[in-house]
Structure 1
């Protein structure tokens, strides 16, 4: 790669960063893609890894492999500490620096606990593969701890599961966890009945899947309840501890609480030195550039942008479109042409609830149930990167459909929580 070419630094190998990089494949630029992980993650299926339906490599692919044929790209495994916009430099955590001519910041979002960061230790979220693997371990261990527990109250606490947040991730987690308890683990334990596990989905707002039309939201709730999920709406969680959570005036003993309620922008946005919105996102110009810094762009969950007068949602299709738009803008800049405003094309919303249950919203076309489930499955397989990933996921889903089994149920590692040793059982 010629160092005389303009240098584009892309921070983040998610949907926005990767799609921008790929869209610049034939451009006369040299690109450095930086990510703290060596893989691109298909985040919409992350909950499947957390619930033992898929393995980590099924929904992730190495960035170097994806970009191996794109000669104008260098992939750098590193952690970015800060950005110096005026000096056009990126500072790495190891002390190194990178100069850029253009910068795309696409580091996504992290968990937000609404001012209660102490809850994070007791209610893990789901954003990365590490999160998913830790959560899978905790979910599977909960049944093992219940099996070994002799005290009825403590056993009940191990079999109490709460998912906080009624968006797509919370709904998908709750529905899948209910299926695991009632079907996958059936007849596998001797001292507990997994089907007696209590799975509660807690949404502070008036309904689950609030981004969907009210009729589909109601159908989703009915489908969840049919699966055995207890849906609680209208009351927020007020406290979470290692022993359970408080809902309203009642404390509920529960050893497993999962956080799916809120997100906050990556803290790296603060180093840009521009005003941020309440969620820490960067309010960008219509072409996705940063105010006062026309050569710096922000895309994906980190960007606060409107299209046709409406806020662009933090979903994968929007991030992909933003990434492609930044690439188009860079090409226009290099050709001496004016940039255009980003316009989001909303192709609809999909959410799966469980086996043969999903909801689909395509504007005028709305449907749920089995047809929606098949549509959801097809769409997610289609958008996975790599033929192998698509084939493996498809085979895993067909096997799970016919057998109710989940192929990634091996418990490995030590999460450091001190719960790896089962409580002693009374001797017969």
Structure 2
């Protein structure tokens, strides 16, 4: 149970230490409340750079920081590492899987999203997605192990399959993975093997829609396509995946032999949303009110990828800037609820979209401004360094990227807990 019976301050429980949860917690730093942040991990993760860990450009601590360290000076906040098993809105309790329960006066649910395989959950074991550090380390292990196994193989067909990499999904994550994988094969590894030529590796980007980066304007999408092709990536648009198994991926009647399939095609809301027993949208997200509270549950708020909200006829996107803005607004709404004041409806301010493709290749959409190529790449690089949490992370990432730029080397190419491909 909640072990603060003598503390009469309003108790706010924040589920999730991601962008929405952390920004809400920090926004309440000077309020006369007590906050408990619950997360199954002990760290905050800078997800926009997760693909860099997956492709051996950065190590895990470079893009993550312990939640306790981040909140060490915030005296009204405590961190509880644990997995939430359910939420009882009648008794206002959050139940953990260890049997403990935490009572709340106000609840902010910001537990994010997970992978969605469009009804084919059996594909998950063959095509890992990228949401956590564990996912990134698994993907890195599979990519690097594929080259090692190809070097050891005497079978030409098996070598070709091992040196074929398929990325499903042409959004920013898929584009970034494909471009970086092509650079690794063409440059980083080109002189390191004796029996194979890594430059012969085949990198495919499979997108079911008509173009990659569909959230960007058509002109930038076309430029991104050209930059990918220049790197040697085979881009297939209008190509819906119909099967993924241990021997490859199938597109309609075409089968592609590959041992490495990476999933970047879809996300699903955290299953915790169902614990609230309120209406959800088709993706399983909570249909929130303009102040981010849950209809019929005025003491419960939802922010980040788990919240479904329309603005100007379009859904608020599930991106980091939106999660941060929602977190701050949820904090303001809770503060207003405590003090009896009204709060303005949430309004997402779109500061633009960014996606990097490779060295000196990126696209940036900022209002009416569209950039591509080297200038977009520099903009992307500086923006990501600026938004990283902590001076150490910024310094380490900047040094790693500088070294990688001049040497083409990737510092985190260590295979941990080597595994055979699941059959």
- TM-score normalised by structure 1 residue count: 0.97
Q: Which moved more, 1:385-394 or 1:324-333?
A: 324-333
Deviation at 1:334, TM superposition (A): 2.1
Matched, 1:229 2:239: no
1:153 aligns with 157
Shift of 1:307: 2.3
Aligned counterpart in structure 1 of residue 113 of structure 2, from 109, 125, 128 = 109
The alignment of Structure 1 onto Structure 2 pairs a total of residues equal to 419
SS of aligned partner of 2:185: helix
CA contact 1:307–1:342 (8 Å) conserved in 2: no
Residue 243 of structure 1 contacts residue 254 of structure 1 at CA under 8 Å; is this kept in 2?
Answer: yes
Residue of structure 2 equivalent to 1:298: 302
Distance in 2 (alpha carbons) for counterparts of 1:87 and 1:332? 23
1:246 to 246, 250, 264: 250
Residue aligning to 1:325: 329
Contact persistence 2:311–2:347 (CA under 8 A): yes
Counterpart of 1:277 (choices 274, 278, 281) is 281
Matched, 1:186 2:190: yes
Provide the C-alpha distance between the structure 1 equivalents of 2:99 and 2:419, rounded to a whole number of angstroms: 30
Q: Give the superposition deviation at 1:417.
A: 4.3
For residues 265-296 of structure 1, what are the alpha-carbon distances to aligned partners after superposition, in whole Å with 9 as ceiling and x for unaligned?
A: 00010010001111000000010000100110
Confirm or deny: 8 A CA contact 2:246 2:422 kept in the other structure: no
The 3-state SS of whatever aligns with 1:389 is helix
Q: How does 1:26-425 map to 2 (within 5 A)?
A: 26-415=30-419, 417=421
How many Å apart are 1:186 and its aligned residue?
A: 1.0
Please give the alpha-carbon distance, in whole angstroms, between the structure 2 residues aligned to 1:416 and 1:291.
48
Q: Secondary structure at the match of 1:183?
A: helix
- Please tell me whether the aligned partners of residues 385 and 398 of structure 2 are also in contact (alpha carbons under 8 angstroms): yes
> Residues 130 and 263 of structure 2 are in contact (CA less than 8 Å); yes or no, is this contact kept in structure 1?
yes
Alpha-carbon distance in structure 2 between the residues aligned to 1:83 and 1:335: 25
RMSD, aligned CA: 1.0
Q: Which position in structure 1 is the counterpart of 2:23?
A: 19
Distance 2:331 2:311 in 1: 18
- Following superposition, the deviation at residue 311 of structure 1 comes to 1.0
SS in 1 for 2:242: strand
Deviations 1:172-192 (A, max 9, x none): 000000000000001100110
Q: How much has 1:410 moved relative to structure 2?
A: 1.1
Does the 8 Å CA contact 1:204/1:233 hold for their aligned counterparts? yes
State TM-score, norm by structure 2: 0.98
Corresponding residue SS for 2:36: strand
Give the secondary-structure state (helix, strand or coil) at the position aligned to 2:124: helix
**Distance in 2 separating the partners of 1:9 and 1:39:** 17
Deviation at residue 87 of structure 1 after TM alignment:
1.4
Deviation at 1:248, TM superposition (A): 2.1
Aligned partners of 1:108 and 1:219: how far apart in 2? Answer: 31
Q: CA deviation at 1:414?
A: 3.5
Q: What is the distance in 2 between the residues matched to 1:14 and 1:93?
A: 20
Stretches of structure 1 lacking an aligned partner (at least 5 in a row)? 420-428
Distance 1:142 1:414 in 2: 11
Listed as ranges, the gaps of 5+ residues in structure 2 are none
Deviation for aligned residue 1:308: 3.2
Q: 1:319 to 1:95 in 2, by over 3 A?
A: same
